[in-house]
Structures are given as structure tokens and as C-alpha cells.
Amino acid sequence: MVKSIILQKIKKTAIQAMIPVIKIRGIIRNFPLGQEIVKVLKGIDLDIERGEYVALMGPSGSGKSTLMNLLGCLDTATAGSYELNGKNVSNMTQDELAEIRNKEIGFVFQTFNLLPRTTALDNVALPMIYAGASKSERITRAEEVLKDVGLADRMDHKPSQLSGGQRQRVAIGRALVNKPSIILADEPTGNLDSKTSLEIMNLFDEIHAQGNTVIVVTHEADVAKHADRIIRLIDGIVTSDEKKKLNNN
Ligand SMILES: Nc1ncnc2c1ncn2[C@@H]1O[C@H](COP(=O)(O)OP(=O)(O)OP(=O)(O)O)[C@@H](O)[C@H]1O
Ligand SMILES: [Mg+2]
């Protein structure tokens, strides 16, 4: 009995390792605007494997944030399919999407999006409330995550008492706290100076090295070079998709 449960688990893990974390096909996103329809994403196919480190680039208005919002289950497509970890999320209800978002996705925004009157510790612990964790579990885990992002000595600070880089570290901690399948970051260094940007990207490198799948939107080549794969979007279409060549010398 125990043996068969263990075998089932091994089988499930092996299958999960084989399927892409993200599989999208024919994704179209139109926005109605008055009498018109704005066509933003015009048919996107993409597979992202577990553990990949991807930079999403492209001119302003090309649809990067629109695509990230779809990948992060903050929005749904007009047409096309999306499988996250082998689960079809295209036809899920708002409640089901909220649950999958909380469990599987860590989102980091350019403007941090922290609760202003709440401490770093409580900001990080917040997604665990929705996940149903007990108070002591929440505190233990949030403390652990804040230590991992280098903020052991800032746990009781509110966002206004933190620097920009520290705020983004809190936001990254919040994204990691539920151990999601993917970390999505939309211009995470867009509001930071170059030194702080590098520190934040080094943190994403560490998060990736621990086995996480990371997708970062950026305009900056310096940020994109941290990734192993660069996908470019122009006018709602993927125009290039390049993996960094491994240097085996
Ligand atoms: N809710 C909406 N209603 C109408 N049009 C929208 C909506 N959201 C986005 N758009 C349009 O979709 C296009 C793509 O927007 P998006 O925010 O995805 O671009 P982006 O590539 O992230 O740009 P940036 O680099 O400036 O952040 C823009 O032309 C925008 O005006
Ligand atoms: Mg954007």
C-alpha cells in the first residue's frame, strides 16, 4: 500500500518534470474600447520548461504586460489555450483562477504593490492567509523567506521605512512564500537605480539556481543577459525566441 503510494508519487513527479510549466497555444487578447476592438496579442504559442530563466523583451505597447497578466492568471485570453503545470486554466472560473494564482504563481511588479501600512513580515505572510496556513506557520515561513531575500533586520519595517531595493525584496519574498511553480516579474528593476537593479537581478539568479522557473519582462539588455532564453514580442507576435548557447569548453 505504502509502496504503491510512493510509486504513484514518483510517477507523478516524473510526469510533471516532462510537461512544460507553461504551454500556450494560439493566445489572442482583444480589448473592446468604445466602438473599436484593440487587438493586442495576435496568436502566441509558447512552451516554457520547468527551471527555465526567460527574459521577455519588446517595444513599449508590444503586449508584454498583457501576456504576463495572462500567464499569471490575472487576466484571461479572448481565444487560445493555456496549460499551467498540465492543468488547463483557459476555462477556469474566477475563484479557481484565484486559487491557482495563489498556489502556483509569484508575481513581482515594477511598482512593488505592497500594502503601505503593513510590515514587511505581514506583507510577505499575506498570501499564506489565502492558502489557509496557521498563524505560526505564516510567521515562521515569512521570517525564513525574508532572511533568504536579505531582510532579516527589516522585518518590522513598513514600506515607507524601506528603500526601493528593499521594497522590491519584500515583494519578491511575498512572491516566493507559497513556493510557486513560476515567478513572473514585470520590469522588476524599472524603478531602481543600476546598482540596486543588479542586486535584485542577482537575487533572481539565486532564486533560479534553486530550481525555480523565472520569467522577467525588461527593456534593458543588462537585465535580460541574466536569463538563459530571450523571447521578443513585437506588436503582439513573438518575433524571436533564442536560447543562450551553453559554453561547454
Ligand atoms: N485594458 C485595456 N484596454 C485597451 N487597450 C489595452 C488594455 N490593456 C492594454 N491595452 C493596450 O495593449 C497594448 C499593449 O499593452 P501592454 O501593457 O501589454 O504593453 P507592454 O509591452 O507591457 O508595454 P510597456 O513596455 O510600455 O510596459 C497597448 O497598446 C495598450 O494600450
Ligand atoms: Mg508593460
Residues 179-231: tens digit of each pLDDT: 998 999 999 999 999 999 999 999 999 999 999 999 999 999 999 999 999 99
Q: Does ligand 1 come within 6 angstroms of the Cβ of 40?
A: yes
Q: Among residues of the chain, what percentage have pLDDT more than 90?
A: 88
pLDDT at 246: 63
- The C-alpha atoms of residue 141 and residue 115 are separated, in whole angstroms, by 19
Using 50, 70 and 90 to split pLDDT, how confident is the model at 111? very high
Is it the case that residue 234 has pLDDT exceeding 80? yes
> Cα 14 vs. chain centroid, distance in angstroms?
23
Rounded to the nearest angstrom, the distance between the alpha carbon of 212 and the centre of ligand 2 is 23
Q: Does ligand 1 come within 6 angstroms of the Cβ of 213?
A: no
C-alpha cell at 45: 504559442
The closest-lying atom of ligand 1 relative to the alpha carbon of residue 33 is 4
Domains and CATH numbers, the chain: 50-76+95-243 (3.40.50.300)
Q: Does ligand 1 come within 6 angstroms of the Cβ of 60?
A: yes
The closest-lying atom of ligand 1 relative to the alpha carbon of residue 40 is 12
Is it the case that residue 242 has pLDDT exceeding 60? yes
Rounded to the nearest angstrom, the distance between the alpha carbon of 60 and the centre of ligand 2 is 7
The closest-lying atom of ligand 1 relative to the alpha carbon of residue 219 is 25
Q: Mean pLDDT over residues 159-180, rounded?
A: 96
Q: Which strands form 237-243's sheet, in the order they lie side by side?
A: 105-108, 182-186, 213-217, 53-57, 229-234, 237-243
pLDDT at 7: 75
Pocket test for ligand 1, best of 30, 36, 37, 40 (most atoms within 8 A of CB): 40
Backbone φ/ψ region at 213: left (φ over 0), alpha (ψ -120 to 50), beta: beta
Rounded to the nearest angstrom, the distance between the alpha carbon of 39 and the centre of ligand 1 is 10
pLDDT at 67: 98
Using 50, 70 and 90 to split pLDDT, how confident is the model at 3? confident
Q: Does ligand 1 come within 6 angstroms of the Cβ of 33?
A: yes
pLDDT at 11: 67
Mean pLDDT across the chain: 93
Contact 100, 92 (CB under 8 A): yes
In this structure, the residue with its CA closest to atom 16 of ligand 1 is: 63
Secondary structure, 3-state, the chain: CHHHHHHHHHHHHHHHHHCCCEEEEEEEEEEEECCEEEEEEEEEEEEECCCCEEEEECCCCCCHHHHHHHHCCCCCCCEEEEEECCEECCCCCHHHHHHHHHHHEEEECCCCCCCCCCCHHHHHHHHHHHCCCCHHHHHHHHHHHHHHCCCHHHCCCCHHHCCHHHHHHHHHHHHHCCCCCEEEEECCCCCCCHHHHHHHHHHHHHHHHCCCEEEEECCCHHHHCCCCEEEEEECCEEEEEEECCCCCC
- Of 83, 75, 71, 73, nearest to 31 by C-alpha is 75
- The C-alpha atoms of residue 175 and residue 159 are separated, in whole angstroms, by 16
